[in-house]
């Protein structure tokens, strides 16, 4: 009885008992090769995007609230100096930057200033 148990455990642990038919071996090798090549390509793509892709870095200047506020202050100073054309162009630039930032309050303020410049004599 104990000899039967020893024989059964020996055959169940023996991996050579599982065989793949000879016709399927080349197919398995091809599938494994394709998986290896695909994983290398995917890894290479991620490495390239991480280290060598500059499409999202420094291509356009970043708009900050400080630059928009500076334009608005310069426009106000130009308006006080009675230079309406310069003030209007600065308010328009500031308005565009406020639109980019999504600052509705300052956007409405610059729209009002532009309207007043256009409609006062």
pLDDT digits over 33-87, tens only?
Answer: 999 999 999 999 998 888 887 665 554 567 789 999 999 999 999 999 999 999 9
Q: How confident is the model at residue 22 (pLDDT cuts 50, 70, 90)?
A: confident
**pLDDT score at 85:** 94
Helices (DSSP H) in 14-103: which residue ranges?
25-51, 65-80, 84-101
Judged by phi (left if over 0) then psi (alpha if -120 to 50, else beta), residue 102 lies in left
Q: What is the pLDDT of residue 81?
A: 94
CA distance 74 to 81: 10
d(CA 57, CA 65): 20
Q: How confident is the model at residue 111 (pLDDT cuts 50, 70, 90)?
A: very high
């Amino acid at each position: 009885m104990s000899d039967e148990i020893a024989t059964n455990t020996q055959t169940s642990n023996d991996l050579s008992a599982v065989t793949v038919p000879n016709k399927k071996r080349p197919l398995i090798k091809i599938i494994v090769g394709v998986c290896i090549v695909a994983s290398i390509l995917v890894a290479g793509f991620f490495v390239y995007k991480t280290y060598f892709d500059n499409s999202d870095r420094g291509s356009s200047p970043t708009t900050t609230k400080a630059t928009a506020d500076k334009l608005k202050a310069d426009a106000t100073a130009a308006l006080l100096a009675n230079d309406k054309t310069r003030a209007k162009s600065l308010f328009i630039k500031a308005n565009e930057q406020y639109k980019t930032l999504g600052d509705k309050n300052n956007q409405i303020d610059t729209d009002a200033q532009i309207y007043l410049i256009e409609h006062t004599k």
